[in-house]
Chain A
Amino acid sequence: GAGVSQTPSNKVTEKGKYVELRCDPISGHTALYWYRQSLGQGPEFLIYFQGTGAADDSGLPNDRFFAVRPEGSVSTLKIQRTERGDSAVYLCASSNYSGASTDTQYFGPGTRLTVL
């Protein structure tokens, strides 16, 4: 079946603009994660959804970042008033969360965000 998909693959925007990044998880996966990866670094946790609710949003850097998952499948990461420091690759992952921490996460290819 299809893996995790993310759109767009690349997004270039100007400082101060609003952007939305979309993630389509693997069908049936209840858990969805957003990460941010800067050049030369490992992914940094942003937020985790179990179903429609954000179970853990402690990784969101500030209130300019917000994510939703209204129907428990597709998720949108929203960034307001973008800053140059927001430039990174934003990765989405999903898992068939069974309640065990051993669940494997399946990653999408990421969206490369560039803020000019």
Chain B
Amino acid sequence: SQQGEEDPQALSIQEGENATMNCSYKTSINNLQWYRQNSGRGLVHLILIRSNEREKHSGRLRVTLDTSKKSSSLLITASRAADTASYFCATVTNTGNQFYFGTGTSLTVIP
């Protein structure tokens, strides 16, 4: 069963706007990772945030983690049409053996 749940399920924005996606999970984690998937392709790792971190940046990406609320958010600033894809959060247990993926947010950036 999947542990993470993303919202919204779908998001449509204009190019240049910011996109925010949220992820909630159920159990204790070691870290949380965000992945991107273009239609019909494999997943690409975007960013990892450890359980003892609260915020992390990578280029136009900003990730926050609130372990007390068991939630994370991914912010993409100054979106581009090429950002159109599905975005998944994956929670990783302390054993590191299993990645639990959420149901994903489908992002459409309109040029």
A contacts, CB < 8 Å to B:
4, 33, 35, 40-45, 48, 55-56, 58-59, 91, 93, 97, 99-110
Known A-B contacts A101-B92, A102-B30, A102-B31; A45 and B99 likewise in contact (beta carbons under 8 Å): yes
Question: Are A102 and B48 in contact, with the CB atoms below 8 A?
Answer: yes
What would 18 A/B residue contacts be, using CB atoms closer than 8 Å?
A40-B103, A41-B103, A42-B104, A48-B98, A55-B97, A56-B98, A91-B42, A99-B96, A101-B93, A101-B94, A101-B95, A101-B96, A102-B48, A102-B92, A105-B43, A107-B42, A108-B42, A110-B41
Q: Which of B86-109 touch A at CB < 8 Å?
A: 88, 90, 92-104
Find chain A residues with CB under 8 A from B98 CB.
Answer: 45, 48, 56, 58-59
- Other than the given A40-B104, A45-B99, A105-B99, 8 more pairs (CB < 8 A) read A41-B103, A42-B4, A42-B101, A42-B103, A101-B96, A104-B33, A104-B48, A107-B44
Q: Is B57 an interface residue (CB 8 A)?
A: no
Q: How far is the CB of A102 from chain B (nearest CB, A)?
A: 6
Interface string of B37-57 (1 = CB under 8 A from A): 000111111001010000000
Find chain A residues with CB under 8 A from B30 CB.
Answer: 101-102
Q: Cα distance A93–B103 when bound, in Å?
A: 18
Residue in B44, B97, B98, B100 whose Cβ sees the most chain A Cβ within 10 Å: B97
Find chain A residues with CB under 8 A from B31 CB.
Answer: 101-102
Q: Quick one: closest B residue to A98, CB to CB?
A: B96
Q: Is B2 an interface residue (CB 8 A)?
A: yes
Name the contact of A107 in the complex, choosing from B4, B43, B97 (C-beta under 8 A).
B43
Q: How far is the CB of A78 from chain B (nearest CB, A)?
A: 21
Question: Are A105 and B45 in contact, with the CB atoms below 8 A?
Answer: yes
Q: Cα distance A41–B100 when bound, in Å?
A: 12
Question: Are B45 and A106 in contact, with the CB atoms below 8 A?
Answer: yes
Q: Cα distance A83–B85 when bound, in Å?
A: 30
